Structure 1
Amino acid sequence: MKVSIITVVYNRAATIERAIRSVLNQSYTNIEYVIVDGHSNDGTMAVVDQYRDKIATVISEKDHGMYDALNKGIKAATGDIVGILHADDEFTNETIIQQIVEKFESNPVIDAIYGDVGFVQPGQEHKIIRYYSSAIFRTNLFKFGFMPAHPTFFCYRRFYEQFGYYRTDLEIAADFDLLLRFLRKHQLFTVYIPEMLVRMNMGGKSTNGISSTIKINKELKLILSEHKLPSSYIRLYSRYFIKVSEFLRKGKAKR
């Protein structure tokens, strides 16, 4: 079973090598690594070029944002399974992809897999400051703005072809829209791995202050309305009480 890992990057010279090494150091060998660069100008590509002989596909050109870049990467992929690793993130250990593959191979009805993510500060990658568990996720929680940890989501590539890619008209919540379509509308059969699969840097689009909070909730409300799901800003903002507890349970991270 071939696994395609997609990394999209723009001006992340300081962190891209950690992400690359995280993929290349995986114990599972049948990995197709695809990097999509948005025409960085900070030396990112100089770092990528050091590993180019071990990377299946490198695309470096201007794009229309992160979700456009993700779509390019997925369309360039040829693996059976697709996963995403952002340029600021890393897998928590070298056996993550092996575990993912073993789960898929153990049961042919599995369509998708997800797990937990730990948030870290740049330069303190082994100090978990927030732990996002996907354990409580159920599809009825979409109306509150909840979803599984997107950086840990793996599914068969054919589902992108069948059900559509990331929306490029959304700036910050296209991952929510895609997971809602895949998991609720099309009812993919999912398996949850109760483990931290990815360490993720704080400061991304969805965790970058009050402006991103307002923006993401506007987009979430729009998405839910389009899917004819009941929601309100009261419901959406109520989930932040749960997010506070994620900082308190950071000590439960397994590694």
Structure 2
Amino acid sequence: MKKPLISIITIVYNGIDTLKKTIDSIACQDYNGIEYIVVDGRSNDGTIDLIKANQSIISKWVSESDEGLYDAMNKGLDMASGDYVWFINSGDEIYHRYTISQMVDGFGDVFPDVVYGDTVMIDAEGSEIGERRLKPPVNLSWEDFRNGMLVSHQSILVSTKIAAKYNIKYRFSADYEWCLKALKAANSVHNSNQILSRFLDGGLTKQNIVPGLKERFDIMRRNFGLLPTVVRHIPIGLRFLKYVAINRRF
């Protein structure tokens, strides 16, 4: 069976300290069907020189001002020509060099519309600090997102046939809505049963936890209804507090 082309998209702004590890995690893959796209927000710290030095790995790149993270991600979507899009942003990494080949080997005869897996959290030095608080279910559907974003954005691949644009009305939680839309549109959802990414702790959403949660509540309200969303936030909040108390992080 023909192997899919994976469009991996990295968004970066002034990422001279984080981008190299991301590039290296893609460069080392033993899978040939990769289109690597970098969208830079007009960095001024040497990031552009780093991009230019790695053009043998980077298929397409652009450096220009944008209206925020999700506007930049939309630019990446416009540039993608693969069968799937996968966002591995600056500082994040593909889990190991065999990740993509092992994932694709599990597809079977038909390419699924959505592919997902697990995530490991890392610190700025690249050391693993533990698993993500929310775990992906064995069989994922859009309705599972009423319990929060059960799959990290860095560990979900979406077919370009159904991938929508990000709603830039949301500045911190448009990825939650994007994944929800993809799952709603999908005819087939595939659990890779593997860790797909290493996610750099302390990203944009975590740095803006309160406005991000407000946006996510609005998205949940529109998709699941006001009363069910309010009721669902009681156990979500209790689980969150328990996790923070035990792990001293969120």
Specify every segment of 5 or more residues in structure 1 that has no aligned partner in the other structure, as ranges: 250-255
Q: 59, 64, 77: which one pairs with 2:80?
A: 77
Corresponding residue for residue 219 of structure 1: 215
Is residue 128 of structure 1 aligned with residue 129 of structure 2? yes
Shift of the 173–27 alpha-carbon distance from structure 1 to 2, 3 Å rule, reads same
Give every structure 1 segment of 4 or more consecutive aligned residues whose post-TM-superposition deviation is greater than 6 Å: 246-249
Letter of the 2:181 counterpart:
R
Corresponding residue for residue 98 of structure 1: 101
SS, match of residue 196 in structure 2:
strand
How far has the Cα of 1:187 moved from its partner?
A: 4.1
SS, match of residue 227 in structure 1:
helix
Identity of aligned residues (%): 27
Shift of the 146–30 alpha-carbon distance from structure 1 to 2, 3 Å rule, reads closer
Q: Does the 8 Å contact 2:113/2:188 carry over to 1? A: yes
Q: Does the 8 Å contact 2:146/2:224 carry over to 1? A: no
How far has the Cα of 1:227 moved from its partner?
A: 2.5
Is residue 61 of structure 1 aligned with residue 64 of structure 2? yes
- Distance in 1 (CA, whole Å) between partners of 2:15 and 2:191 is 30
Is residue 170 of structure 1 aligned with residue 167 of structure 2? no
Letter of the 1:235 counterpart:
R
Specify every segment of 5 or more residues in structure 2 that has no aligned partner in the other structure, as ranges: none
Q: How does 1:7-156 map to 2 (within 5 A)?
A: 7-104=10-107, 106-108=108-110, 110-123=112-125, 125-131=126-132, 132-135=134-137, 137-156=140-159
Letter of the 2:43 counterpart:
S
SS, match of residue 106 in structure 2:
helix
Is residue 236 of structure 1 aligned with residue 233 of structure 2? yes
TM (norm. structure 1) is: 0.85
TM (norm. structure 2) is: 0.87
Q: Does the 8 Å contact 2:11/2:89 carry over to 1? A: yes
- Distance in 2 (CA, whole Å) between partners of 1:86 and 1:247 is 29
SS, match of residue 129 in structure 1:
strand
Residues 112-169 of structure 1 show CA distances to partners (whole Å, capped at 9, x for unaligned) of 111111112111x232234353136553332232332211111211112xxx211111
How far has the Cα of 1:110 moved from its partner?
A: 1.9
- Distance in 2 (CA, whole Å) between partners of 1:100 and 1:139 is 21
